[in-house]
Structure 1
Amino acid sequence: MSSISRRDLLAAGAAATLISSFALPAGAGDRPNIEFLYSPFADYAPFFVAKEMGFFDEFGADVTLSPKGNTAETIQMLASGNIETGGATWGAGLFNALSRGATVSIIATLARMPDTVPSPSPFMVSQAAWDDGIRTVADLKGKRVGIPGPGGFGMYSVAKALEKGGLTIDDVEAVYLPPPATAAAFANGALEAGWSIEPFAGKLEQEGLGRRLVEDHTFGTELGLIAFNQDFVTDNEDAVVRFMAGYLKAARLLDNGGWTDDGIVDIVAKYTGTEPQTLRGIPYTIRSQDGAIDMASVREQEAFFRARGALEYEGDADIDAVYRRDLLKRANDLVASKP
């Protein structure tokens, strides 16, 4: 594996302290393995691309990608040290864990909702319900609405969509189920509406099972974050920086037209279990160019869960105590140093 030379880093304007820390080891045995927990959603695409296109290897990160069940599983496994890193959504469980002193470090944004439509995470109505006359959000009062969980981004997103029709979560019958299960629930009449995310939203449309009802409810909202076990970060800062550099390179590729490449679509199809034709042309989540988190958006979500009585603490969660902006900056510097 090639290494980053001192001359290259100096040419990029990097400090001498960064030069020594970014020198890549000659052998993979010198690098700690980083296992990343992911969900089979399109917003995890940068990790799939970084793995398959060799970006992690390019920056000297030894990475294994493992599928997961839910956000709560990720935070619990990170806090206990059973996993090095994973993606999670902002939600009551995470906020409460941070307030209790969970041993995790937050490094960067994972995904953010775009300010455009169509949305990669629409609020959808079943085709059967549409045919029965449910054409507006207000028509959903007392109806069954699918939500992926009681305390995460899915609930926040559904609540924002319901606001468009003057409703709240308490005005509907919440049914908790993961996005892949929405298709069956729409087909058998178990749900009138529900939260979705790509590629599942597109599949619902293509199969004639659902329609987009609301898409302008979460413009610019932070959807997820990248977190690490805190002890792992303390002992392996350079490995974390290298991992993040691979992620940033892949994210920028995707956010700057990469989705038009058939090879990239094939990679994402492999990890999401979706046919490539389903992925072509669907809307996608985005990220800030440097991976920074929009904290104003995070605080809005925290306020929502506090209003619902879902938080166990007073005041704001001390996110700054675990948000490692310094490592994110180093990762950006490392990407910039590559020719």
Structure 2
Amino acid sequence: MSFRIASCLRTTALAAGMALAALPVAEAGTLKLGMTTWVGYGPLFLARDMGYFEENGLDVELEIIEEAALYMAAMAAGELQGTASTVDEIMKYRSEDFCFKSVYALDDSHGGDGVLVPEDLDSFVDLKGMEVGLNEGSVSQFWFNVLLKENGMTEADVEITNMTADDAAAAFMAGRIPVAVTWEPHLTFARKANKGRVLVDSSQTPGVIVDVVALECGVIASQPDDVKALVKGLNKANDLIRENPQKAYEVMAAGVGGWLSDPDEFAASAAGVNFYGRERNAAFFAGGDEGEAGKLIKLGNEIWGSFGKLQMELGYDDLVDASFLEE
């Protein structure tokens, strides 16, 4: 199975290569985006396959690349014009030499991510001193550190074992580790197998794990009509999700494919996210540095900055161009 797999590569080394990359000029009327296999990216496939992009004169090519470092490097080299990824993930790659900005929010995790613990563990502070399996450098580490911060703790209070979210779930199910930070469908598998319990999930931290479409700044400047078409198509896709979810899930399952190719599996996984349409985008990106998006970026500065993962300190204007939402 493939999920939102984040890279453990050093982003500083990658950034050095990015600075040397010569960006080809993108062809007007086309956008190529990279992403992992994730239910929250379904609206992109829905808009493509229902012809919503095409009716606005835009050809969108979607490429599954199951590692953040690879799709970000491809965007830096001009092989992609943008990506779909979490806000915290893309923050690690933004630099003075590699400019990209979020133009649309796709979804947030609403129960799709969680912390698996022993059945008898009562509260988050009881994790002190315990081994926790998670993917270092990924959204799992970011989110877990948000939880630690909310409970007056740091990673020094637990013992981190670095492993992918898939491996963490497998190790938990096998009894090899007591705590795992993972995501669906592993949370559901654990519940069905009566293996421990989900101590906390992302429905309790709304607006923290947010997926966005980010485009390279040169593309935004040179292809504004294409960005407008992208936004229009995604808005229409979200309208269909709201009005006819069964039809939308069938189309998205076929488009996203992989472990989500079954419409029933897609629908079950979609229950763990909130899809963002035009109204939710307007609310999320409103308020600049003091709005939802701005505060999430500040949180990313605090957490990833403390781990030395950022190339620069970022503000709202460094990572967001919400002007196309008004179209």
Same fold (TM > 0.5): yes
Identify the TM-score tier after normalising by the shorter chain: 0.7 to 0.9
**Runs of at least 5 residues in structure 2 that lack an aligned partner in the other structure:** 1-26, 286-292
1:97 aligns with 2:93: yes
Aligned partners of 1:176 and 1:66: how far apart in 2? 27
- The offset of 1:113, in angstroms, is 4.4
Q: Rg larger in 1 or in 2?
A: 1
Aligned partners of 2:189 and 2:153: how far apart in 1? 27
Q: Pick from 54, 58, 74: which aligns with 1:57?
A: 54
Structure 2 counterpart of 1:68: 65
Root-mean-square deviation over aligned CA pairs: 3.0
- The offset of 1:278, in angstroms, is 3.5
Matches within 5 A, 1:152-191: 152-163=138-149, 166-191=152-177
Q: Which one-letter code corresponds to 2:143 in the other structure?
A: S
1:40 aligns with 2:49: no
Q: Which one-letter code corresponds to 2:43 in the other structure?
A: P
When residues 187 and 222 of structure 1 are mapped into structure 2, their CA distance, relative to the original with a 3 A threshold, is closer
When residues 141 and 222 of structure 1 are mapped into structure 2, their CA distance, relative to the original with a 3 A threshold, is closer
- The offset of 1:165, in angstroms, is 5.3
Aligned partners of 1:200 and 1:265: how far apart in 2? 20
1:241 aligns with 2:228: yes
- The offset of 1:153, in angstroms, is 3.1
Aligned partners of 2:187 and 2:38: how far apart in 1? 11
- The offset of 1:37, in angstroms, is 1.3
Q: Which one-letter code corresponds to 2:183 in the other structure?
A: I
Matches within 5 A, 1:310-321: 310-313=309-312, 316-321=313-318
Structure 2 counterpart of 1:193: 179
Structure 2 counterpart of 1:287: 276
Q: Pick from 156, 173, 198: which aligns with 1:212?
A: 198
- The offset of 1:64, in angstroms, is 1.8
Aligned partners of 1:258 and 1:247: how far apart in 2? 15
- The offset of 1:204, in angstroms, is 4.0
Aligned partners of 1:139 and 1:268: how far apart in 2? 40
Aligned partners of 1:269 and 1:310: how far apart in 2? 34
Describe the SS at the equivalent of 2:240: helix
| TM-score w.r.t. length of structure 1 | 0.71
Q: Which one-letter code corresponds to 1:101 in the other structure?
A: D
**Runs of at least 5 residues in structure 1 that lack an aligned partner in the other structure:** 1-29, 334-339
Q: Which digits, 9 at most, give the CA deviation of each residue in 1:17-41, with x for residues without a partner?
A: xxxxxxxxxxxxx964322212222
Does the 8 A contact of 2:128 with 2:158 survive in 1? yes
Q: Which digits, 9 at most, give the CA deviation of each residue in 1:195-222, with x for residues without a partner?
A: 3334443344345456321135422325
Aligned partners of 1:321 and 1:306: how far apart in 2? 16
| TM-score w.r.t. length of structure 2 | 0.74
- The offset of 1:158, in angstroms, is 0.9
Describe the SS at the equivalent of 1:149: coil
Aligned partners of 1:59 and 1:205: how far apart in 2? 44
Aligned partners of 1:251 and 1:305: how far apart in 2? 31
Q: Which digits, 9 at most, give the CA deviation of each residue in 1:143-164, with x for residues without a partner?
A: 33233332x4322211233456
When residues 37 and 310 of structure 1 are mapped into structure 2, their CA distance, relative to the original with a 3 A threshold, is closer
Aligned partners of 1:190 and 1:321: how far apart in 2? 42
Instruction: Figure out how many residues of one structure are paired with residues of the other and give that number.
Output: 285
Aligned partners of 1:210 and 1:61: how far apart in 2? 48
